[in-house]
Amino acid sequence: MTSSIYIDGKWRPAIDGATREIRSPADGTLVATVSDGKIADALAAISSARTSFDSGLFSSWSWKERSVLLTKIALLLERDIEIIANLESGDTGKRIIESKYDVADVSATFRHFAKLALDHHDRVLDSGLPNVTSKVTYEPIGVCSLIGPWNYPLLQISWKVAPALAAGCSFILKPSELTPSTAIHLIKLIEEAGAPAGVANLVTGSGAAFGDTLTTDPRVDFVSFTGGLPTGKRIIIKAAETVKRVALELGGKNPNIIFADADLDVAIDFAVTAAFLHSGQVCSAGTRLIVERPIHDQVVQEIVRRAKQIRLGGPADLTAETGPLISENHLKKVEEYLAKGISEGAKLLVGGTRCTTEKLSTGWYFPPTVLDDCNTSMYCVQEESFGPILTVEVFDTIDEAIKLGNDTIYGLSGAVWSRDQTKCERVSKELRHGTVWVNDYGPYKPQAEWGGFKASGNGRELGEHGLQEYLEIKHIWVNNSPTRSGWFADKN
């Protein structure tokens, strides 16, 4: 019997016995069969996490002990890199080399929070009084619902699990129903590393089936979600019923601004990568190209030429440079998105039709696509495709470039390209986005916070604040020599 649900230190099937098939988006082959959890399974996981946390068994561990646990997990991830990369590529269809990069980043995330835990200390304050000790302490927030996406399933789950463990929380992990395999393996490694039973709990299945349970149950203290804007809004509304804290990373429509004085060879190369890496299924993808008018033709023509050369294929294709979309349903959404853009007046320059060659016909492949003559009134400029579609806009002045870059409800990331340092400093300061790259696109480090402005979400992951999300702050005031206050007169 399939048993991919992990509750109170035990692997078990779904309570109703239901299962779900996971098929590769590269060719439709069966890669896994997992338990298909429902509300009853989620409730059992919440009970386990609540009991675990309230017992104090793990939350009472010292920061150093939890740091050791995280370091052990990092070592186990490095040991199992081949296994994990194959699981990740099986679920997502991405190239093995990309999955290996992801596992390395996951390990680095655990090491970052292990170090942060060692460096974490309570703050002793100056009370101004000789007989008073005043300090600020940091305590685990409690039981956490951690809900991950399908595009970088292990990496973005690690951004939640690592700080939760570092803080001493207990949690319920819910990976995407499309890509659960690496989350299952991560739980096995957490178990192997020595986390007490009940600290880490996993329920595989559809968010539609039990997502509300994870966000409304009063026994849950905190919800961290990465995914789409409509679901994020729903979580905020549902979580408000019990006034629990929420951290959301909801994607972006990210401007990549190229000035005429930039190193165009480098800027164009990065523009291609920013738009088409992982077939555009990246929350920070640079799918809005905003280019200064004098260089528009040169830049766009070269990007189109490069886009035509990109080789598509599955994990086993060593010549492939990018892979398929995650599902047939997502491919249809990308096709509808493109059709709407063209109907609004965008000009299709390359791509635009799903791949039907014999080699790719069994998977969900869509080629790199470029839409020119775009403006911010268009749906294709304002909304995410989460696919390999690059839109092109033009500008004439710095002010216009900044205005265009900010003309979006989102604010996750963006980039500016120019040899003029003063210009870059101004644009990077005035862009309303959580991460801005200057003469670069895409790098991040676990030591730096990640998150967005506006509709891209609230809260932050990674960095120091990524740990703070999982902590409650308490002020403790100790009067070592108490005397009567004398505020009210004692008339007896």
- Catalytic residue set: 249, 283
Q: How many residues are listed for the chain in this entry?
A: 492
Would residue 176 be called left, alpha or beta, if left means φ above 0 and alpha means ψ between -120 and 50 degrees? beta
Residue of 156, 219, 202 lying closest to 12 (CA atoms): 202
CA distance 87 to 32: 9
DSSP 132-166: EEEEEEEEE--EEEEE--SSSHHHHHHHHHHHHHH
Residue 260 has which token pair? 């005429």
- CA distances 285 to 31, 148, 440, Å, are 27, 18, 13
Report which DSSP code applies to 407.
Answer: -
Please name which of 213, 263, 221, 255 lies closest in space to residue 238, comparing C-alpha atoms: 213
DSSP at 311: P
Residues contacting 123, CB < 8 A, separation 6+: 135, 136
**Token pair for residue 46?**
């919440």
Look at residue 201 and give its three-state secondary structure: strand
CA–CA distance, 65 with 7 (Å, rounded to integer): 23
Cβ–Cβ < 8 Å for 185, 80? yes
Contacts of 437 (CB under 8 A, 6+ apart): 413, 414, 415, 416, 443
Sorted by sequence, the CB contacts under 8 Å of residue 135 that are 6+ apart come out as 122, 123, 124, 125, 475, 476
Quickly tell me which residue has 């946390």 as its tokens. 53
